[in-house]
Amino acid sequence: MELQDKVALVTGGAHRVGKAVALALAREGMHVVVHYGTSEAAARETVAEIKSLGVRALPVRADLRDPAQIQALFATVKAEFGRLDVLVNSAASFVRQPFDEIGLDDWKDVLQVNLRAPFLCTQHAARLMRAVVRPPDEPAAIINIADLSGIYPWRGYVQHGVSKAGLLHLTKVTAYELAPAIRVNAIVPGAVLPPPGVDPQGETWANLGARTPLGRTGHPDYVAQTAVFLARNDYITGAAIPVDGGEHLVGTLK
Ligand SMILES: NC(=O)c1ccc[n+]([C@@H]2O[C@H](COP(=O)([O-])OP(=O)(O)OC[C@H]3O[C@@H](n4cnc5c(N)ncnc54)[C@H](OP(=O)(O)O)[C@@H]3O)[C@@H](O)[C@H]2O)c1
């Protein structure tokens, strides 16, 4: 798909990996809706950076645990831009919790954000994407950001891993359901950005990188470049691309 002047929505686009993806799509000439949950100031900064590239951008808040707010998010996209060409489901809840302590609400919160929200966003996006007449060889694109916990179990990340495994399968079933009008793919990043509280210069983070075949941690831009590639390439659907320095070759590191 030619990305110039098309419209993208990036969930969790205010900062970190989502921001890198939003900026990369904007550099390709896309207008970008920057979804955020609580990071309003960061979302406004990201929107200002995107606008400085000469494209349109809009910050939109929605708690992804709430289907009504997801519906309102897509109503805003429709009202403000009238179309949607690329959806990136990047927002996620990253929770580590001892198995015995996982309560119903803990389970529900993570599954709602990491799996139900991408499903609902895909459903709303598909309606908007299909409403536009497109060349048959230029489908719209949905990109889900998973991680290796959806393939290999990570100790302590029970509901997270289950949600990401579900997201990887959602990618395949929606790729099949929505073809040929819409392509759906996943990116499976490895260690590209330390979670809050983990020192990027510290030993823990460096050790994670050292144990990958490429011997180093990555950067959000590697994920962003892959998102642009998947948005552009009109003949890939149902794929899950690891962007992990080869971590998937050696199994779980956690
Ligand atoms: N960082 C890595 O190395 C890495 C590795 C593998 C995979 N990934 C995946 O890449 C994606 C982005 O990673 P990241 O590290 O940038 O994630 P992050 O810092 O944990 O950011 C997640 C985003 O999700 C949003 N979010 C969480 N709960 C929400 C809710 N209830 N409603 C609305 N928004 C909500 C947050 O928005 P607000 O801040 O606005 O609340 C935040 O921007 C995730 O899917 C993650 O699993 C990351």
Task: Tell which one of 15, 39, 90, 105 to mutate to probe ligand 1, the residue whose CB is within 8 A of the most ligand atoms.
Answer: 90
Q: pLDDT tens, 88-100? A: 999 999 999 999 9
The CATH number of 7-250 is 3.40.50.720
Distance CA 166, CA 125 (A): 19
Ligand 1 binding pocket includes 90 (Cβ within 6 Å): yes
Ligand 1 binding pocket includes 93 (Cβ within 6 Å): yes
Q: pLDDT tens, 169-213? A: 999 999 999 999 999 999 999 999 999 889 999 999 999 999 999
Q: Are the CB atoms for 140 and 134 separated by under 8 Å?
A: yes
Q: pTM of the entire structure?
A: 0.98
Distance CA 194, CA 7 (A): 29
- Closest ligand 1 atom, residue 64 Cα: 32
Domain boundaries, the chain: 7-250
pLDDT at 64 over 60: yes
Question: Ligand 1 atom 24: the closest Cα is on which residue?
Answer: 91
Ligand 1 binding pocket includes 175 (Cβ within 6 Å): no
Task: List residues with catalytic annotation.
Answer: 157, 164
Q: pLDDT tens, 122-153? A: 999 999 999 999 999 999 999 999 999 999 99
Backbone angles phi, psi at 198, to 5 degrees: -100, 125
How far does residue 133's CA lie from ligand 1's centre (Å)? 32
Q: Are the CB atoms for 59 and 14 separated by under 8 Å?
A: yes
| Element holding 108 (H helix, E strand) | helix 104-111
- Of the pLDDT bands very low, low, confident and very high (cuts 50, 70, 90), residue 251 is confident
Beta pairing, strands 240-243 & 31-36:
unpaired
Residue 114 DSSP class: I
